[in-house]
Amino acid sequence: MSGLQRNTSVRRGVAPVEAHPGAEGNTVLIDRAGSEVERLRGVVAQLMHTAAHDPLTGLPTRRLLLERLAEVLAHDAAEGRQIAVLFVDLDNFKLVNDSLGHGSGDEVLSEMARRISGCIERGDTASRFGGDEMVILHPHAADGSELALGKRILTALAEPIFVSGKEVVVSASIGVALCTPGMKSAAQLLREADTALYAAKDRGRARLELFSDELYERAEKRMRIESDLRVALREQQLFVEYQPQVRLKDGRVVGVEALVRWKHPKFGVVPPGDFIGVAEDCGLINGIGRLVLEQSCRQLADWTRLAPGRPLAMTVNVSPRQLSDPAFFTELRQVLADTGIDPRALCLEVTESAMMRAPAEIVQLLDQIRQLGIYVAIDDFGTGHSSLSRLRDMPAEVLKIDRSFVDGLGSETGDTAIVSSILSLAYAMGKHTIAEGVEQPEQAALLLRMGCEAAQGYFFSRPVAAERIPPLLTGALWEARSPGAPHSTPHTEAQIRRGHRYFIDEFLDHIGAPMGTKAPGSP
């Protein structure tokens, strides 16, 4: 018909566009794509939000945090304001996953994220950086507001939560770094916050540390030690010295403790305290521990061949990381097979703090080690937080009394009482005792009178090279009748036990126990 055109559909993308005749015969296009475009925009926005936010916690991702941090660092500095980054890491979160399962661990993370979100201010960004690490960007820090924010987060996270019907308390450590816009890169500011976080962990956890030049120097030193330590393992710069352990009643050497040393090509002999902690943190302790165990057991085998009728025990320190290694037990059995030593001549030391918080798997492993005939010792005993029930259930036969208590024997009433109580406890539980850090003859004499079986320390001998041990096995390193000892008469076993009971009584008096509890026959 004249003046009219057939309706036709054309496609613009995926949306139809219909053509209609106008009043003067012109075609008018009606675009139905509007609503479809809006829908697609919504889908894209949702996808972008999902990609930029963690699906578990709902917090912004690492990538989004980095973008926002780079943006605020590029701005001009406002008067008196700085940019702060807070690096938050949950303490011992692995224990939650191991004991309650990863599902419960996810619940804890979600709750922690909710609490952190409730602490931040307008303009702040809280992100999940990875695992149990969260980073908060506080772009308008002033007058210590970053520290106040960190303290609020610590308080909020310290409150218990209920997961699977159980109350769980998970603390956190926080590292804080500050800078003026334009002065540092995002990577540098985050690295400084991470350094401060490491310091917070190192200084006891559940605390906040602010980055400083001192922390930077410590971090640089730690990185240098880690790098040099890797070289030391490859180039065999590590070696073992041995400190004699003396039986107090006759002064004879009955054992030695293997102690690792590092001969640095530039700095000379590096003390273990300067590198063992670093080795633990970076995972090198397994290689170091394996080296010490193999070398000390081979050395014990050599000494046994030289003096087959002379019993000698070897004590070797093992770390929690070694015990957590699935290959440790197999390697231990292989060392015993390769060296041919009597398992009863080997004693493995675990620190009290590690022993008391050891998970069930480690306790089971230690029990398997005992079944091989190997002794297990609790090192630094008295410095941790042992419970009697936990100690009773631990597969350990030896308690090593920490040097910090031995140092005050005879001069500090508190130290004397603590050593006395440890010895009483060991005697009652049927455990052996070794006192560490003996430096004076009076300390040795007092330990003997208190009923301590063995001791080690500079008074008897410093740690020495392997070739210096055999001559020490031929005689006594100390005699109870030597000048300076409180008693000049030999101590029989009965006298030692009576003296031991006397100190039990003294300890009971010290804590105010009734006098009627004294053991029969006590002085």
* 500 in Cβ contact with 451 (< 8 Å): yes
* 88 in Cβ contact with 206 (< 8 Å): no
How many residues belong to the chain?
523
State residue 288's pLDDT score: 96
State residue 10's pLDDT score: 36
Contacts of 14 (CB under 8 A, 6+ apart): 36
Contacts of 319 (CB under 8 A, 6+ apart): 280, 285, 289, 354
- Going 265 to 271 to 272 to 278, the CA torsion angle's sign is negative
> Per residue of the chain (523 residues), what is the pLDDT tens digit?
444 444 444 333 334 444 545 444 554 444 555 677 777 666 666 665 566 789 899 999 999 999 999 999 988 766 667 999 999 999 888 778 777 788 888 899 999 999 999 999 999 999 999 888 999 999 999 999 999 999 999 999 999 988 877 888 888 999 999 999 888 999 999 999 999 998 998 888 899 999 998 988 888 888 899 999 999 999 999 999 999 999 999 999 999 999 999 999 999 998 898 899 899 888 899 999 999 999 999 999 999 998 887 889 999 999 988 998 999 999 999 999 999 999 999 999 998 878 877 788 888 999 999 999 999 999 988 776 666 777 777 889 999 999 988 988 877 888 888 899 889 988 888 899 999 999 999 999 999 999 999 999 999 999 999 999 999 998 899 887 644 433 333 333 333 333 333 333 443 444 344 333 333 333 3
Distances (CA, A) of 75 to 44, 176, 346, 497: 29, 20, 64, 77
Q: Which own/partner contact pairs does 199-207 have at CB distance under 8 Å and 24+ positions apart?
A: 199/175, 200/173, 200/174, 200/175, 201/89, 201/91, 201/173, 202/277, 205/91, 205/92, 205/171, 205/173, 206/91, 206/154, 206/158, 206/171, 206/172, 206/173, 207/154, 207/173, 207/174
CA 30 – CA 248 distance, rounded (Å) = 104
Contacts of 308 (CB under 8 A, 6+ apart): none
β-strand pairing of 238-247 with 252-264? antiparallel
Burial of 62 (0-12, 13-18, 19+ CB in 10 A): middle
State residue 432's pLDDT score: 93
State residue 47's pLDDT score: 63
- State the amino acid at position 157 in one-letter form: L
Q: Which two tokens stand for residue 133?
A: 């690490």
Classified as helix, coil or strand, 45 is: helix
CA 130 – CA 134 distance, rounded (Å) = 7
CA 292 – CA 298 distance, rounded (Å) = 10
β-strand pairing of 268-270 with 252-264? antiparallel
Contacts of 423 (CB under 8 A, 6+ apart): 401, 433, 450, 451, 452, 500, 503
State residue 49's pLDDT score: 59
Q: Looking at residue 249, what DSSP letter applies? A: T
Contacts of 333 (CB under 8 A, 6+ apart): 372
Q: Where are the alpha helices (DSSP H) in 340-412?
A: 352-356, 360-371, 388-393, 403-406
Helical (H) or strand (E) element with 326: none
CA 457 – CA 435 distance, rounded (Å) = 8
Q: Which own/partner contact pairs does 248-251 have at CB distance under 8 Å and 24+ positions apart?
A: 248/444, 248/447, 248/448, 248/452, 248/453, 248/454, 248/455, 248/478, 248/480, 249/448, 249/453, 249/480, 249/491, 249/493, 249/496, 250/476, 251/476, 251/477, 251/478, 251/479, 251/480
- State the amino acid at position 287 in one-letter form: G
**How many C-beta atoms surround the C-beta of residue 366 within 10 A?**
21
Distances (CA, A) of 5 to 15, 19, 23, 403, 408: 21, 9, 12, 104, 110
Match 């922390």 to its residue by tokens.
Answer: 215
State residue 359's pLDDT score: 80
- State the amino acid at position 490 in one-letter form: P
Query: SS3 sequence, 56-96?
Result: CCCCECHHHHHHHHHHHHCCCCCCCCEEEEEEEEECCHHHH
Radius of gyration of the chain (CA): 34
Q: Looking at residue 437, what DSSP letter applies? A: -
CA 411 – CA 440 distance, rounded (Å) = 12
Helical (H) or strand (E) element with 214: helix 213-234
CA 239 – CA 261 distance, rounded (Å) = 5
CA 421 – CA 53 distance, rounded (Å) = 56
β-strand pairing of 268-270 with 313-317? unpaired
